[in-house]
Structure 1
Amino acid sequence: MISVLFAVLTALSNGTASVLQRRAAAGVPDSEAMRLSLIGHLMRKKVWLAGIGLVIVAAVCQAVALATGPIAVVQPIFVIELPATLLVAGFVMRAGVPRQVWCGVAAVTLGLALGMAAAAPVGGSDDVQGAAWVPALAATAAFEAVLIAAALGTFGNTRAALLGLAAACGYALTAALMKDAMSRLDAGGAAGLLTAWQLYATAVAGVGALFLLQNALQSGSLVAVQPMLTLGDALISITYGVALFGEELRTGWWLLPQLTGVALIAAGCVVLARSPLATADASPRTG
């Protein structure tokens, strides 16, 4: 499937981008947290700009994936972004990849395959019907506000994890808006796309998610950020797919292998988070 291929390419691009952005954000003083000046600091670093370039590549691949497949299929594939991030980090740091990391990669991959095969997302429309966006956007805004408020009251990896989840919600919203916007391209051509509010809302949500992610990476280690970012994006995206696009998942006894898949993914993430390779990424910050 084209959607699966481009979803995998999106995950690999985002994983590499996370490593590059983390290397750039680690040297920014804590005093710049949650300020626009943080972006100014980062824009002067070539490694961060390279990461942004890969984010753009990932966005294009994601648009293709969402235009050709259900959001409940495309977004969960992004859980492989965490293993990809650590493997790329090992290459960048010129460190060997220990067996522990490979075991975590295997668990995440197997869990994803099992969960997706059991859930078998089907159906759904390419666009959001009626005024369904109104309660969805209200609920998203409330969720984001709670996460950001909680993050501002903490420090270190706790703040990083909360902001990582907030960024995940932002990216899931971006994906849902992007899919809805792409449906306008099919229906009305370029004019239909350019006059759709979803296109511009996608840009706003994407920039907001990127800002939250940079602050998450600046606040703590990649280990704290990436699991929340990866798993949060997948689970929240599935919620959008079901609630907004009418996509359907198998229920009944199929829930057992689905939960088993989620458990394998969670266990794999824990293994990866505890690996020496992941810990080594937590470089000291100044300020």
Structure 2
Amino acid sequence: MDMLLPVLFALGAALSNALATVLQRKAALTVPKSEGLRVGLIADLLRRPVWLVGIVAVITAGVCQAVALATGPITVVQPLFVLELPLALVIAAALLQGRLSRAGWLAVGTVVVGLGVVLFAASPAGNRTQVPMTHWIPAVAVCVVAIAALVVAALRRPEGRGRAACFGLATAISYAMTAALMKTSMHTLDDGGITAFFTTWQTYGFALFGVCALFFLENAMQSGPLVASQPALTLGDACVSLALGITVYAEYVRTGWWLVPQLLGAALIAAGVLALSRLPLARALATEEKEQPGEGTAADAGTTAP
């Protein structure tokens, strides 16, 4: 029962983020593309109402995530966000008046089962409220260097899978750092009130990483196919958050022979996410070719492009 509240709020955050993903991706496809890192991209998107609705969903997700992180370990909360892609495709199918294929539902089931296996086998525990600077400094430094390297690598590549994957992984690391810093800020708010919340550096840290994550996400969506960016984002966020939970917050997971089902579950998640990213419905959200009402039958057949 102790884990029920963080799990419910994490699921609420995943659902809100899924809705935001659908709305933001549709909005991002309406602005001009660019070969470089578009500083004016956000300004263009601000003029799209659908993007603004997506931002409201992002804010809702942020509130739910904050409550989840304040009440449960990051190693439980963040892995649940792998459900964003399955939820996004279900929402997209409804908005497009189409249908998710049988292959799609199988992939959704694969992700859900894989996640269940991982969480059961890992049995994450621990909920440290404050972290010493000796833990924060190396964690932030490593993540910042990794993000910078991925952005540089992305800018050196033309539009395509490589560029999208780099931006997607940079987004994942930014999201993971946002969650890690937000967790401490929420505990600070609970212990010291609003004044303490606005005077701790972690509050401004998670805000900065959150803005960077949003920026990288928009560029990832314009850089290449969903099959490249989404697995990097979904799996990267879960893996980096798991690493931060263990190294920064001293949370722990079961090891020994329990690693075998954990790896099996992770493989199922990876396979499911990759399969979902290849669906026609998923590609329709990441290309300029919009799926029209009634075209869900093509997705239902499970066809994919080469």
- Length-normalised TM-score, structure 1: 0.96
Q: In the alignment, which residue of structure 2 is the partner of 1:54?
A: 57
Percent identity among equivalent residues?
A: 52
Deviation at 1:7, TM superposition (A): 0.4
Separation in structure 1 between the aligned mates of residue 194 and residue 44 of structure 2, nearest angstrom? 36
- 1:112 is aligned with what amino acid? L
Cα deviation per residue 1:152-188 (whole Å; 9 max; x = unaligned)? Answer: 1112232112101101100100000000111212221
The answer as to whether partners of 2:25 and 2:286 remain within 8 angstroms in 1 is: no
Deviation at 1:30, TM superposition (A): 2.0
Distance 1:224 1:19, change over 3 A: farther
Q: In the alignment, which residue of structure 2 is the partner of 1:108?
A: 111
Cα deviation per residue 1:236-276 (whole Å; 9 max; x = unaligned)? Answer: 00111001000011000000110010011011112212222
Confirm whether residue 177 of structure 1 aligns to residue 167 of structure 2: no
Q: In the alignment, which residue of structure 1 is the partner of 2:33?
A: 30
Confirm whether residue 210 of structure 1 aligns to residue 214 of structure 2: yes
Distance 1:90 1:223, change over 3 A: farther
CA RMSD of aligned residues (A): 1.4
Deviation at 1:279, TM superposition (A): 2.5
Say which SS state the counterpart of residue 99 (structure 2) adopts: coil
The answer as to whether partners of 1:19 and 1:88 remain within 8 angstroms in 2 is: yes
Say which SS state the counterpart of residue 123 (structure 1) adopts: coil
Matching of residues 42-81 of structure 1 within 5 Å: 42-81=45-84
Q: In the alignment, which residue of structure 2 is the partner of 1:99?
A: 102
Separation in structure 2 between the aligned mates of residue 33 and residue 3 of structure 1, nearest angstrom? 39
- 2:107 is aligned with what amino acid? G
The answer as to whether partners of 1:221 and 1:281 remain within 8 angstroms in 2 is: no
Q: In the alignment, which residue of structure 2 is the partner of 1:190?
A: 194
The answer as to whether partners of 1:28 and 1:218 remain within 8 angstroms in 2 is: no
Separation in structure 2 between the aligned mates of residue 126 and residue 117 of structure 1, nearest angstrom? 24
Dislocated runs of 4+, deviation >4 Å: none
Deviation at 1:97, TM superposition (A): 1.1
Confirm whether residue 162 of structure 1 aligns to residue 163 of structure 2: no
Q: In the alignment, which residue of structure 1 is the partner of 2:296?
A: none
Separation in structure 2 between the aligned mates of residue 185 and residue 284 of structure 1, nearest angstrom? 43
Separation in structure 1 between the aligned mates of residue 137 and residue 287 of structure 2, nearest angstrom? 42
Confirm whether residue 140 of structure 1 aligns to residue 143 of structure 2: yes
Ranges in structure 1 where 5+ consecutive residues have no aligned partner: none
Separation in structure 2 between the aligned mates of residue 259 and residue 45 of structure 1, nearest angstrom? 42
Separation in structure 2 between the aligned mates of residue 227 and residue 130 of structure 1, nearest angstrom? 32
Say which SS state the counterpart of residue 51 (structure 1) adopts: helix
Q: In the alignment, which residue of structure 1 is the partner of 2:268?
A: 264
Q: In the alignment, which residue of structure 1 is the partner of 2:223?
A: 219
Say which SS state the counterpart of residue 207 (structure 2) adopts: helix
Cα deviation per residue 1:54-81 (whole Å; 9 max; x = unaligned)? Answer: 0000000000000000000000000001
Cα deviation per residue 1:82-103 (whole Å; 9 max; x = unaligned)? Answer: 1111111212222111101100
